[in-house]
Amino acid sequence: MESQLSASKPTGGLPETAREQLNAHMELYSQLKAKEDVYSQLLAKGRLMLLNRDDSGSGSKTEQSVALLEQKWCLVSTKMEERKAKLEEALALATDFQNSLQDFINWLTLAEQSLNIAPPPSLILSAVLAQIDEHKVFANEVNAHRDQIIELDQTGNQLKFLSQKQDVVLIKNLLVSVQSRWEKVVQRSVERGRALDDARKRAKQFHEAWKKLIDWLEDAENHLDSELEISNDPDKIKLQLSKHKEFQKTLGGKQPVYDTTIRTGRALKEKALLPDDTQKLDNLLGEVRDKWDTVCGKSVERQHKLEEALLFSGQFMDALQALVDWLYKVEPQLAEDQPVHGDLDLVMNLMDAHKVFQKELGKRTGTVQVLKRSGRELIENSRDDTTWVKVQLQELSNRWDTVCKLSVSKQTRLEQALKQAEEFRTAVHTLLDGRAVPALSGSASRRRRGIAIPH
């Protein structure tokens, strides 16, 4: 028994192995306990013999035997208890390690599933901010498990030092696997955090630009709505017309802001991976486009009414000159040498701007007709020399026809440029990675066709 207990054996590092070793030891323990009565009887007999010994020297031998028996029993009992305690401790340590490891593996599985089902970063500011808040909770949970993986590693190393070889290999493989999965979860968590932050920056940039432009357009629309009254006094009409031209100049200065906002929104829409994002971005772009068209339309309408009021107030030449000046101003923008080609966003922005111009041109058709009619009446009813009126009317007619033709020509050139831009983008995407290119939306398709200009 002492020989069996003296052999130094590593303990089990896994619960199953540790439990088998403890059970095997408890069999030895039971055998020792079964000998306890025999030991007690022998010890009692030996002591009794010592009491009845004579002086022949046999007592000394019996005494040695009793002492040796007692010494051996105590030694074996002590080693038995020590070994039992050591094996119970090993079983507890292996069980705690196994339970902690399993708990951590379960958490890792849930964390991996959470990352797998996490939706792509939204490009809508309110949505991506909510995603960031949600991810912060997850990231904090990941950080909270850092101490647990460190503790598992320490416990595993302790077990590897004490355990038998086959268990050491299994423990090592388990720790390597868990460590690898943990590092991947940490890495993916960091990468998602960066992706969300990048989406937040882009969404914020668009949202702030969009909100600022929408607010300005609403103020501009309110301004136009509050300036509906038109004076009957020619001088006051001229003053109103002058103020309105200042407003139109400011509105024209917002064109680059509008184009940039639309371009940014379209770029986000193309990169959006969530169907809700695509729809919401479409709605935001539609809203700012409608608001822009509304303000531009109301601005054109007011310009038209002011010019008509100036005409009907008897200021025929002023109204005529104002219209001719406008035609001279817009004609260079329609020239054949004006560039219309570029990437898809640029061409679509040019088409949007041209659509606004076409509406304005259409609004002025009535003014041109009224001016021509008024001019003819002035020529027919005047007794003075009206040569200057005929010259001005001919100039108006020539400039009007030229601008209308150039407008139609630019529309055609823009349609060709749009087609080339679409073909180029399709070719580039196909060459790079074969990605499917989204078709133009219905509104974009309609804008591509343009509108008819009355002559």
| pLDDT, tens only, 91-130 | 888 888 888 888 999 999 999 999 999 999 999 999 999 9
Q: Is the pLDDT of residue 397 over 50?
A: yes
Per the CB < 8 A criterion, the answer to whether 14 and 98 are in contact is yes
Q: What count of other Cβ atoms lies within 10 Å of the Cβ of residue 110?
A: 11
Across the range 215-234, mean pLDDT stands at: 86
* The pLDDT of residue 452: 37
Angle (nearest 5°) at CA 268 between 262 and 272: 145
CA distance 250 to 220: 10
Q: Within 10 A of 344 (CB to CB), how many other CB atoms are there? A: 21
Residue 297 to residue 283: CA distance in whole angstroms: 20
Note the pLDDT of residue 143.
93
- The radius of gyration of the chain from alpha carbons, rounded to an integer in Å, stands at 47
Nearest by Cα to 245 from 336, 356, 322: 322
Task: Evaluate whether 15 touches 93 at the Cβ level (below 8 Å).
Answer: no
CA 102 centroid distance within chain = 33
Around Cβ 255, how many Cβ atoms within 10 Å? 15
**DSSP-based three-state secondary structure for 228:** coil
| Residue-level pLDDT at 280 | 94
Express each pLDDT in 13-28 by its tens digit. Answer: 677 777 877 787 788 8
Q: What integer pLDDT is reported at residue 22 of this predicted model?
A: 77
Confidence of residue 39 (pLDDT cuts 50, 70, 90): confident
State whether CATH 2.40.110.10 applies to domain 315-455.
Answer: no
Task: Say how far apart CA 238 and CA 243 lie, in whole Å.
Answer: 9
Record: fold of 1-117? Methane Monooxygenase Hydroxylase; Chain G, domain 1 (1.20.58)
State how far the Cα of 234 lies from the Cα of 232, in Å rounded to an integer.
6
Q: Please state, as a whole number, how many other Cβ atoms lie within 10 Å of the Cβ of residue 421.
A: 18
User: DSSP for 151-213?
Assistant: HHHHHHHHHHHHB-HHHHHHHHHHHHHHHHHHHHHHHHHHHHHHHHHHHHHHHHHHHHHHHHH
Residue 237: pLDDT band by 50, 70, 90 thresholds?
confident
Domain with CATH 1.20.58.60 in the chain: 1-117, 315-455
